[in-house]
Amino acid sequence: MKLKIINLEPFKGELDILYPAVIESPKVPLTETIHDIGFNTTFGNAHDIYMKDLWLSFSAITLDENFKFLFQYDFSIITLQFLLSGNSLTEIIQDSEPFTYFANQHNILYYSNYEAQHEHTPSDNIQLVRIHVNPVLFLKLLPENELFDSFRQAILKGNPGKISSANLPLTPGMLAILHDIKNIQSTGYYRRWMIEAKVIELLMLQFEQYELYSLSENCQSRKSLRKKDVEIMEHAREIIMNNIQSPCSLIDLAHMVGTNEFHLKKTFKEVYGTTVFGYLLQQRMEEARKLLLSGEMNINQIALHLGYKNANHFSSAFKKHYGFSPSELRRNV
């Protein structure tokens, strides 16, 4: 099993990646590598985890100019692809139409002895997570639902493709799982089992979201979204993330990104699957969960950090969101 990566721009180069024996053997817990990326105008790091039926890759990269590379697979693999941050990523699988990811989007892809070209646009902070799954395991987990039949048949016939014609928005639940996977402290077999459980949980969230979007009007409206609309919503999301402590009003946010309040509310929900204030709440609660688990601040400090004037209001919002209070989570750490 070998993957060849060929750099097309801005320089030439090739890299062969051989899957270690661990990906085919349940007897070895896992293999893990962390390496720096540094050449010309590209630098960052990549964290790869190999285990039975799974290969996880967490990349954090800064690019000063367009970067193109070609993946050549001599095997079949399912890839859960998540672009957490950074400018757009465009992908072409063999001779199919190109499709573009923007920050906070994901999809599920199938490759089979095919080529896939990726193009990243310049960005200070590209965070890309790719979780490769053995197709045999994936098919066991794929729901017996007619919505998934076309993707199932593509896999069985060896035809590359993607599960959803439109990339879907990353949810706070998905982001939390990705964060948890990267920060699992267990070792050996326990680490392998915990990662596998988290990947399956993540996959179930993707399946569930795809099913909901397929049955809603949002699925059709997302297909017709213009690239400019998505970029405007990404700008709005960045403003929200940079002002979690003191968020601006919808009218002010709309003016800041060059649109009106109605268009902002409608398009933001189509792109991210929730309202502006719903997204803000989700981000606040996820940040609160991380801070509670880290022990860096007490509950009053976290409430103030997230823009709550009253710790009781923060605790009530946290319990409504997660089903347990901040103090209950802190006691169980």
Cross-sheet strand order for the sheet of 115-120: 13-18, 2-9, 67-73, 115-120, 89-93, 99-101
pTM above 0.75, yes or no: no
Place of tokens 């709440």: 281
Q: In the prediction, which pLDDT does 14 show? A: 61
Least confident piece of the model among 226-230, 231-235, 246-250, 295-299: 226-230
C-alpha angle with apex 124: 120 to 130, nearest 5 degrees?
Answer: 50
Distance CA 112, CA 78 (A): 9
What's the pLDDT tens digit per position in 132-152? 999 999 999 999 988 899 999
How high does pLDDT run on average in the chain? 82
Q: In the prediction, which pLDDT does 51 show? A: 87
Domains 2-219 and 226-331 share a fold: no
Q: In the prediction, which pLDDT does 76 show? A: 83
Helix (H, G, I), strand (E, B) or coil at 1: coil
Which residues partner with 259 through β-bridges? none
Distance CA 311, CA 30 (A): 43
User: Is the peptide bond between 10 and the residue preceding it cis, with omega within 30 degrees of 0?
Assistant: yes
Tell me which residue of 101, 61, 66 sits closest to 82, measured CA to CA: 101
Instruction: Please identify, in words, the CATH class of the domain defined by 226-331.
Output: mainly alpha
Helix (H, G, I), strand (E, B) or coil at 264: helix
Where does the pLDDT of residue 116 fall: very low under 50, low under 70, confident under 90, or very high at 90 and above? confident
- The domain spans of the chain are 2-219, 226-331
Q: Is the dihedral of CA 21, 60, 89, 194 positive or negative?
A: positive
Q: In the prediction, which pLDDT does 225 show? A: 66
Per-residue pLDDT averaged across 276-300, rounded? 86
Least confident piece of the model among 76-85, 95-104, 213-222: 213-222
Fold of 2-219: Jelly Rolls (2.60.120)
Q: Residue 237 contacts by C-beta under 8 Å, 6 or more apart in sequence?
A: 103, 104, 268, 272, 279
What's the pLDDT tens digit per position in 249-264? 999 999 999 999 999 9
Chain Cα centroid distance, residue 34? 19
Instruction: Spell out the SS3 assignment of 81-102.
Output: EEEEECCCEEEEECCCCCEEEC
